[in-house]
Amino acid sequence: MKTLTFIASLLPAILMADATPVQFADLTFDQACEVARQKDKFVLVYVIKRTEELPKEDRPPADEPTTPDDAPRAPERLPDFEPLPEPDKDSYAAYTWSDGTVARWVNENTIPIRIEAASDPAFIEQFEVDTFPSVLVIEPGGRLRARIRGFRNPGSLLEELKEQIAATDPVAAALARLRRSGGTDLSARLAYANALRDTGDNLGALREYATCLNALSMETGLKPGAKLVAVKVLAVKEMSLLAQRFAPARDELLKRYLGLKELIASGAATGEDAAIFAAIGTHLDRVDETLSVYRQLKETAPNAAVTILLRPALVDALVDIRRYQEVLDLIDVPQHFDAAYEQYQADARRPLPSGGENEAFRAFLRRQFVESTIKYYEVLVGVGAAEGARKIAERILSVDAGSATYAALAAAGLRSGRPGEEHLEQAKKAVELAGAALPADTLLTLARILKAINRSEEAAKTLEDHLPKIKDAFQREEIRRRLVADTGT
């Protein structure tokens, strides 16, 4: 009996002996994309936080530090950011990548590479990697096809990879993602609605948008707060595109707007109601009506919760349509920026439990601060308050001086209708920092600023120099098309 037990215990090892693990190529991402194009495959990128997540035999010696001693530590929790729990760090290496079936399929159908976050921050920024480990499936041209956050066992990983790579129908792919979440992932449902809209299923898209707007936090797994509201506001924006060609969608938005208007007047509205009311008003060209509601509330109930909650949503709506002076009539912009900056600093100082690290969290925190405050910079540029705008830009860059931040500042200057030399320098810095991982929108912003300040020849030279960095041929053509549309030539 003991002999049988011993033999049985050896079976897993015996079976694994014949299995060749995933053969990760010693290539950069750009090199992998080139090989993938030549072999007509996809690129599979296994993203890890640091070398401790590598198989033990692949790690550097213990006396060679893999992360800086002063690596930032994250707070115990930030609202609306809940990274997936990490399993044992060797799980992929010792379990999934070593599975024979997984390894054969990955090696035959993809160019697999491994990227450590600290060694390729440009890749992390370009593809917004926020969870470690992650597996990304990328088309030969460099476009993201699938993102798998956290650990998967061999069967689950192989199923998702096959499904995502094989999917040529965007509706089928979006529906598969939604079903995997059990129907609770609101972002997945919104992507499904967009796919239906873009393929002409207007009624189906309308149904899914309505489901997004009706979703409760208990149904989506999202906590009540900014993240849930942000997805619903985005749903309003996407639904408004459908409304431009499909009257029932516009009727549905109007019905919701009028219903929320009554709810706000009654004093029973929530912050979510106020944000959606303002968002719908923007896309239905009813911002003046929304302003009127706010002014009435300010006179009759200035300290009521709904009055306070409607104001930031209205500010966003006014910035969206570039009515900057009216933003200044509503709020003290420098004061609001200062408050956001102080909140960022307070969040950044909150400690994790002993021994915890989460660089992804810190990156998220910086990105969230930039995204939430760039509107204040845009407003001051838009009204010609150059000195105030410069001070805000300096403080934003003190938090995050990456390519995406410089690009956001430059784009804000362009949107304001007052692009100048400072915005040109911001755009050039964004392109420089992006290096080989240059996003199409960043290059487009630079070219548009050059054209706006009457430097068309330099814009053409810039495109000639940098367009080859855009790996996706479709995106290169889209840049050219949009620039032609700007000028009509």
Tell me how far the alpha carbon of residue 91 is from its chain's centroid: 27
pLDDT surpassing 70 at residue 54: no
What is the average pLDDT score of the chain? 79
Q: What is the pLDDT of residue 434?
A: 86
Mean pLDDT comparison of 90-94, 162-166, 179-183, highest-scoring range:
179-183
A 10 A CB-CB count for 298 gives 16
Q: What is the pLDDT of residues 336-387, one digit of tens each?
A: 999 999 999 988 887 755 444 566 677 878 888 999 999 999 999 999 999 9
Q: What is the pLDDT of residue 450?
A: 92
Measuring CA to CA, which residue among 275, 280, 359 is closest to residue 309? Answer: 275
When comparing pLDDT for 55 and 179, which is higher?
A: 179
How would you class 387 by CB atoms within 10 Å of its CB: exposed for 0-12, middle for 13-18, buried for 19 or more? exposed
Domains and CATH numbers, the chain: 19-55+90-166 (3.40.30.10)
pLDDT surpassing 50 at residue 162: yes
Indicate the pLDDT class of residue 482, thresholds 50, 70 and 90. low
Q: What is the pLDDT of residue 10?
A: 41
Q: What is the pLDDT of residues 59-82, one digit of tens each?
A: 434 333 333 333 333 333 333 333
Q: What is the pLDDT of residue 164?
A: 67
pLDDT surpassing 60 at residue 51: no
When pLDDT is averaged across residues 274-286 and rounded to a whole number, the result is 90
For Cα atoms 472, 478, 480, give the angle at the middle one, nearest 5 degrees: 110
Q: What is the pLDDT of residues 166-219, one digit of tens each?
A: 666 678 778 888 888 888 888 889 989 988 888 789 999 999 999 999 987 544
pLDDT surpassing 60 at residue 220: no
> Which tokens hold the place of 286?
């009813």
User: What is the DSSP-derived secondary structure letter of residue 96?
Assistant: I
Q: What is the pLDDT of residue 73?
A: 36
When pLDDT is averaged across residues 459-488 and rounded to a whole number, the result is 68
Measuring CA to CA, which residue among 481, 484, 475 is closest to residue 142? Answer: 475
pLDDT surpassing 60 at residue 17: no
CA distances from 19 to 45, 104, 121, 200 (A): 21, 9, 33, 46
Indicate the pLDDT class of residue 83, thresholds 50, 70 and 90. very low
Q: What is the pLDDT of residue 317?
A: 87
